[in-house]
Amino acid sequence: MTFRERCQRAWQTNQSLLCVGLDPEPGRLPHSLASRPLNEAVERFCTGIVNATAPYCCAFKPQIAHFAALGLESTLESICRHIKAAHPNHLLILDAKRGDIGSTASNYAKEAFERYCADAVTLSPYMGGDSLTPFLEFRDKGIFLLCRTSNPGGDDLQMLALEGGERLFERVARLATERWSGSEQVGLVVGATYPAEVQKVREIAPKLPLLVPGIGAQGGDLKAAVCAGVDANRQGLFINSSRAILYASPQDDWAQQAAEVARQTHHAIAVSLRT
Amino acid sequence: MTFRERCQRAWQTNQSLLCVGLDPEPGRLPHSLASRPLNEAVERFCTGIVNATAPYCCAFKPQIAHFAALGLESTLESICRHIKAAHPNHLLILDAKRGDIGSTASNYAKEAFERYCADAVTLSPYMGGDSLTPFLEFRDKGIFLLCRTSNPGGDDLQMLALEGGERLFERVARLATERWSGSEQVGLVVGATYPAEVQKVREIAPKLPLLVPGIGAQGGDLKAAVCAGVDANRQGLFINSSRAILYASPQDDWAQQAAEVARQTHHAIAVSLRT
């Protein structure tokens, strides 16, 4: 199954464009898990969130820094194995924002695709096309390139106007859809905080899957981002929410409350798609 | 001690601008280590290289992907602890090329500066100034921003001309020295494969430390890069060599041969500085 087919299957079988981000923070874990060893608490928390929200989402996006800062790589391995085994029709996106060349890039690709069995990984485009090749050699896997990120500082480089008038993030989108995307393994990261740029990216890259962070805690406009970003099939998006779902409640009902926020977000996306 | 003082101390006490990169590859370890468990072989190899080359260099740069692909994070922790304990006047640069925002960036900073006790970490500038802040909050630590990388694909974005004529890598250098560098914690990565761009970056950022990969296996011109990159004090550079030193010999004399290549490179840098 190609990466594009895997995306299609995730959208269609789950009837959802929602991606649930897994960013565990020790200080925000549910009270009932706080007394357990940290690795066990993080694993129970993340698998609990995964199982509770799976009916409402099409993808999971663990953010590797939240595990690496705690030395919990083996916990992340377990969580990824669980996602692949229990939810095979969901996409597993490793949010790592890697970017390097040669044997180093090959090793990052092994880390993402073999060690954590991810279907896709986020990458920075700054080092250019040859930094992507070692990832694309995993022919059934995908990459999401940072294009227009959700943070204000993204302006510093991404909004710079090039000679001829194109802005840097537009060039990245164009390279991704023309020069770098022969095997349909490339997607783009575009923040929901900038719906006008989401729309611009969708115009430049009509068929590329877009990973859209920035709704929920970051304040992005869900409806505007969905309307700007859907493709011709009313799909093409992975709308990510992390903290609003993960930390819906610190009480014993944390999994149910996370599921409820995921259900509401799924519903809000569906409503946006109909307008 | 500030980051800039730590750089100064590394250059002066070691009388060297050479940085030794630690990129262990299981298939290229010395024959005499091949029968050992991988974690033990990698630790013995890296600490052996560190101890053998320390007289000729001022910095060590472990590349994290080479450990992460093998699940050897705890081995990297041990190697970093060894470097800090046995060679406190050498700079420890974690080559990770991270880049993210908010709590995620804080976690990457903890990973680099607390878990691996690095003095500095390499970062991608693509997400802009606010992605650097969580790293700069570690006030005695430094960051090296990708500016003009050593690979041909670096052209794809870094050489793009902006409105007004400045190229993207020049803008990164200017932001690094003007807007992002208030506390003197910022350096830049510029490939030895492009001496003209090294010179340009040095003009824009006369005082910033430059991490220069690309000599040795990548074919960069050592003399041209050194002459283009030194600052007014004939310092300011961390000239990196990895594979040419690491894999000088697979035989029992691997450590001595690595030391010999490091000695020759140190000498070549010194000769370049005198011309």
Instruction: Please state the domain extents for chain B.
Output: 3-274
Sign for the pseudo-dihedral over CA of A170, B133, A67, A35? negative
pLDDT digits over A77-94, tens only? 999 999 999 999 999 999
Phi, psi of A40 (to 5 degrees): -70, -40
Considering only the beta carbons, identify the residue of B73, B102, B108 that sits closest to A73: B73
Q: Is the pLDDT of residue A126 over 80?
A: yes
Distance CA A188, CA A207 (A): 11
Does A105 sit within 8 Å of B128, measured CB to CB? Answer: no
**Across A8-35, average pLDDT:** 97
CB atoms within 10 A of CB B35: 7
Would you state the pLDDT for residue B125? Answer: 98
Interface test with B, best of A127, A147, A149, A186 (most B CBs within 10 A): A127
B79–chain A Cβ distance below 8 A for any pair: no
Q: Which two structure tokens, joined as six digits, stand for B57?
A: 């260099």
Distance CA A261, CA B133 (A): 31
Would you state the pLDDT for residue B216? Answer: 76
Proportion of chain A above pLDDT 70, given as a percent: 99
Considering only the beta carbons, identify the residue of B71, B161, B171 that sits closest to A115: B71
Does A102 sit within 8 Å of B157, measured CB to CB? Answer: no
Contacts of A153 in chain B (CB under 8 A): 101, 127-131
The one-letter code for the residue type at B81 is R
Chain pair A-B, CB pairs under 8 angstroms: 175
Distance from CA of B160 to the nearest CA of A (A): 7
Q: What is the pLDDT of chain A when averaged over all its residues?
A: 96
Distance from CA of A110 to the nearest CA of B (A): 6
Q: Which residues pair with A144 in a beta bridge?
A: A122, A187
Residue of A nearest to B162 (CA): A162
Contacts of B136 in chain A (CB under 8 A): none
- DSSP notation for A56-117: G-SEEEEBTHHHHTTT-HHHHHHHHHHHHHH-TTSEEEEEEEE---HHHHHHHHHIIIIIS-
Q: What Å distances lie between residue B10 and A84, B90, B260, CA to CA?
A: 47, 5, 20
Distance CA B60, CA B238 (A): 10
Does A65 sit within 8 Å of B104, measured CB to CB? Answer: yes
Sign for the pseudo-dihedral over CA of B194, B200, B203, B207? negative
Distance CA A161, CA A170 (A): 10
- Going by C-alpha positions, the residue among A234, A176, A231, A167 that lies closest to residue A199 is A231
Superfamily designation of domain B3-274:
Aldolase class I (3.20.20.70)
Considering only the beta carbons, identify the residue of B105, B153, B161 that sits closest to A131: B153
B101–chain A Cβ distance below 8 A for any pair: yes
Does B161 sit within 8 Å of A161, measured CB to CB? Answer: no
Distance from CA of B13 to the nearest CA of A (A): 31
Does B160 sit within 8 Å of A153, measured CB to CB? Answer: no
Does A103 sit within 8 Å of B23, measured CB to CB? Answer: yes
Which residues of B are designated catalytic? 97
Q: What is the pLDDT of chain B when averaged over all its residues?
A: 96
Helix (H/G/I), strand (E/B), else coil: B124? coil
| Residue scoring higher pLDDT (B17 or B219) | B17
* Residues 6 or more apart in contact with residue A260 via CB below 8 angstroms: A248
pLDDT digits over A140-192, tens only? 999 999 999 999 999 999 999 999 999 999 999 999 999 997 679 999 999 99
Q: CA angle, B75 as apex, B71 and B79 as ends, to 5°?
A: 145
B25–chain A Cβ distance below 8 A for any pair: yes
Contacts of A105 in chain B (CB under 8 A): 65
HSE, side-chain direction, 13 A CA sphere, residue B215: 26
Would you state the pLDDT for residue B158? Answer: 98
- Going by C-alpha positions, the residue among A234, A245, A255 that lies closest to residue A48 is A255
Q: Is the pLDDT of residue A14 over 70?
A: yes
Q: Which two structure tokens, joined as six digits, stand for B26?
A: 């299981």
A34–chain B Cβ distance below 8 A for any pair: no
Q: What Å distances lie between residue A161 and A269, B12, B39, B103, CA to CA?
A: 32, 42, 48, 30
Does A126 sit within 8 Å of B146, measured CB to CB? Answer: yes
Would you state the pLDDT for residue B218? Answer: 73
DSSP state, A195?
H
CB atoms within 10 A of CB B85: 9
Does A63 sit within 8 Å of B115, measured CB to CB? Answer: no
Q: Which two structure tokens, joined as six digits, stand for A235?
A: 């799909």
The one catalytic residue among A61, A84, A97, A200: A97
- 3-class SS letters over B174-225: HHHHCCCCCCCCEEEEECCCCHHHHHHHHHHCCCCCEEECCCHHHCCCHHHH
The answer to whether ipTM exceeds 0.85 is: yes
A46-60, B167-181, B182-196, B206-220: range with lowest mean pLDDT? B206-220
**Across A118-125, average pLDDT:** 98
Does B152 sit within 8 Å of A130, measured CB to CB? Answer: yes
Q: Which two structure tokens, joined as six digits, stand for B7?
A: 């750089």
Q: Are A19 and A59 in contact (CB under 8 A)?
A: yes
pTM for this model (two decimals): 0.97
B117–chain A Cβ distance below 8 A for any pair: no
A174–chain B Cβ distance below 8 A for any pair: no
